[in-house]
Structure 1
Amino acid sequence: MKTCIACGMPMKSIDDFASGDQKKDYCKYCSRSDGTMQSYNEKLASLTNFIIKTQGLDHDVANDAAKSMMNKLPAWKNDKK
Structure 2
Amino acid sequence: MNWLYALPVLACPVGMGLMMWLMMRPGRSQSPSADPVSGKEIEQLRAEVSRLQQSQFGGYPPHGDGVLLDKR
Indicate the structure with greater strand content: 1
Q: Which has the higher helix share?
A: 2
Q: TM-score, normalised by structure 2?
A: 0.29
TM-score by length of 1: 0.26
